[in-house]
Amino acid sequence: MDLSVVPDLTMRGQDDPHERAIAAGPPTIGQLAARVRDLAGRPDEWWRLVRFDADRPLDVPLDDATWPLPCRLTTWPPGHGGTVHGGVSTLVAGELAVVTITERGVTERPLRANRIRVHGGPQALTNPGPAFAVSLHARWDQAGSPVR
């Protein structure tokens, strides 16, 4: 099966599958997703940074000199929530739900562990579970630059 014609999401963070020289540009969704998936698979490198605060969610920047895209680790206390502003996320531990409010009502969709979720715009996340949740995030600003 020739995957060279499949869209960027399957490129798994490669700059170009044909090894052509390309100008540096903003990160693609595929590159962000590959980075978050890679980080989630190596908790031994960042788990020591996890901090818990029962009063509010905590964000911890994950800096890596070998990768230009900043990522962050977020711990969510039970019953607390917050907004994720675009980018990609994955749940590492616990429970999180994406809350959507429309004129039809409120819906909560679970954020599944070890699955990458792409957020096109602001998304409200909440921890409906009885324990802390831990998630990883990478995002970019409106100009296409990564955001810390």
Q: Which of 5-9, 111-115, 138-142 has the highest mean pLDDT?
A: 111-115
pLDDT tens for 9-56 read 555 555 566 666 666 667 788 888 888 999 899 999 889 999 999 999
Matching residue, tokens 């964000």: 59
pLDDT tens for 59-87 read 998 876 666 667 899 999 999 999 887 78
Q: Tell me, what's the pLDDT at 24? A: 64
Beta bridge partners of 71: 62, 138
**Cα–Cα distance for residue pair 76/145, rounded to 1 Å:** 26
Q: What is the mean pLDDT of residues 2-6?
A: 54
User: pTM for this structure?
Assistant: 0.75
pLDDT band at 135 (very low <50, low <70, confident <90, very high): very high
Q: Which of the pair, 148 or 86, is modelled with greater confidence? A: 86
H or E element in which residue 38 lies:
helix 29-40
Per-residue pLDDT for 7 more than 50? yes
Burial (CB count <10 Å: 0-12, 13-18, 19+), residue 56:
exposed
Q: Tell me, what's the pLDDT at 74? A: 93
Instruction: For each of the domains in the chain, give its residue range(s) and CATH number, in order of start.
Output: 8-138 (2.60.120.10)
